[in-house]
Amino acid sequence: MTANRTNLTNLTDVTNLTDVTARIGHFTNPGNDADADADAGTMARLRERLLEEATRESLLDVAYRTLDSPVGPLLLAATPEGLVRVAFAAEGHDAVLVELAERVSPRVLHAPRRLDRAVRELDEYFAGRRRGFEVPLDLRLARGFRRVVLDRLQDIAYGATASYTDVAAAAGSPKAVRAVGTACATNPVPLVVPCHRVVRSDGSLGNYGGGVDAKRALLSLEDSR
């Protein structure tokens, strides 16, 4: 293990922290349960050391973690500016991490504590104790009209819904109904920016990145409070 540790002593040369954490995962090859327990502890310490050194050297651009929720496992990611991504399992968490590395920064690291506030607020939301989110957002992944739509989505109150047509009008482009649908479908921070509150003009749910069942569950949660 001593030889492996030397690989982490010079993090100033690291450009892709995702690759580094992947290498940590290959440092050990447990042969029994006792070895597995010991190696898990060693890996946890190595990850913690990597996080500390990456933070000290300003190498951590995107922190991520997962969260079990009533609508399935969620991937949460944040930059120093704020929450940049919330992803459902249906989106493929690995694919989302690759997207973040390509569109934000390759310096992506599993750093759960960086997401503590987002986790706390989401837990409160699912428990019915929170109706709005205060966690800072980094909406760099939404540009142009899509960003305008996200701003308008945040005006839809807890327990209320709006049609795609309503949102298009509120965004200043009444005819851009399909573009509103695209903006909702590509919302980088669903739940926190509530695209689940946008429904079709006939009252039917419409599509949702987390699946129609998840959309129905979220609207039911809000309607019951």
Burial 47-83 (b: 16+ CB within 10 A, else e): beebbebbeeeebbbbbbbbbebebeebbbbbbeebb
Judgement on whether residues 150 and 197 belong to the same structural domain of the protein: yes
Judgement on whether residues 96 and 47 belong to the same structural domain of the protein: no
Q: At what angle do helices 144-153 and 177-185 cross, to 10 degrees?
A: 80
Is 0.75 surpassed by the pTM of this model? Answer: yes
Q: Give me the pLDDT at residue 44, please.
A: 59
Judgement on whether residues 29 and 52 belong to the same structural domain of the protein: yes
Judgement on whether residues 32 and 72 belong to the same structural domain of the protein: no
Judgement on whether residues 185 and 115 belong to the same structural domain of the protein: no
Judgement on whether residues 51 and 73 belong to the same structural domain of the protein: no
Q: Is residue 119 part of a domain?
A: yes
Judgement on whether residues 51 and 70 belong to the same structural domain of the protein: no
> How confident is the model over 180-219, as pLDDT tens digits?
999 999 999 999 999 999 999 999 999 999 999 999 999 9
Mean pLDDT of all residues in 32-40: 60
Judgement on whether residues 115 and 168 belong to the same structural domain of the protein: no
Q: Is residue 212 part of a domain?
A: yes
Catalytic residue among 153, 168, 192, 195: 195
Higher pLDDT: 21 or 26? It is: 21
Q: What is the CATH number of the domain that holds 153?
A: 1.10.10.10
Q: Is residue 151 part of a domain?
A: yes
Neighbours of 182 (CB within 10 A): 13
Q: Is residue 184 part of a domain?
A: yes
Q: Is residue 138 part of a domain?
A: no
Q: Is residue 132 part of a domain?
A: no
Active site residue 195: yes
Neighbours of 131 (CB within 10 A): 12
Answer with the one of 37, 56, 75 that is the final residue of a domain.
56
Domain holding 175, by residue range, is 144-223
Judgement on whether residues 174 and 210 belong to the same structural domain of the protein: yes
Judgement on whether residues 111 and 158 belong to the same structural domain of the protein: no
> How confident is the model over 55-78, as pLDDT tens digits?
555 567 999 999 999 999 999 999
- Which of these, 172, 179, 173, 222, lies nearest to 197 by C-alpha position? 222
Query: How many domains in the chain?
Result: 3
Q: What is the CATH number of the domain that holds 76?
A: 3.30.160
| Burial category of 85 from C-beta neighbours within 10 Å (exposed 0-12, middle 13-18, buried 19 and up) | buried
Q: Is residue 134 part of a domain?
A: no
Q: How far is the C-alpha of 100 from the C-alpha of 41, rounded, in Å?
A: 28
Q: How far is the C-alpha of 175 from the C-alpha of 168, rounded, in Å?
A: 7
Dihedral sign, Cα of residue 151, residue 153, residue 154, residue 157: positive
Judgement on whether residues 69 and 111 belong to the same structural domain of the protein: yes
* pLDDT tier, 48 (very low <50, low <70, confident <90, very high otherwise): low
Mean pLDDT of all residues in 99-105: 95
Higher pLDDT: 159 or 30? It is: 159
Answer with the one of 126, 154, 178 that is the final residue of a domain.
126
Q: Quick check: 32 pLDDT over 80? A: no
Q: How far is the C-alpha of 116 from the C-alpha of 94, rounded, in Å?
A: 21
> How confident is the model over 135-183, as pLDDT tens digits?
999 999 999 999 999 999 999 999 999 999 999 999 999 999 999 999 9
Q: Is residue 201 part of a domain?
A: yes
Neighbours of 157 (CB within 10 A): 13
Higher pLDDT: 179 or 54? It is: 179
* pLDDT tier, 47 (very low <50, low <70, confident <90, very high otherwise): low
Judgement on whether residues 88 and 148 belong to the same structural domain of the protein: no
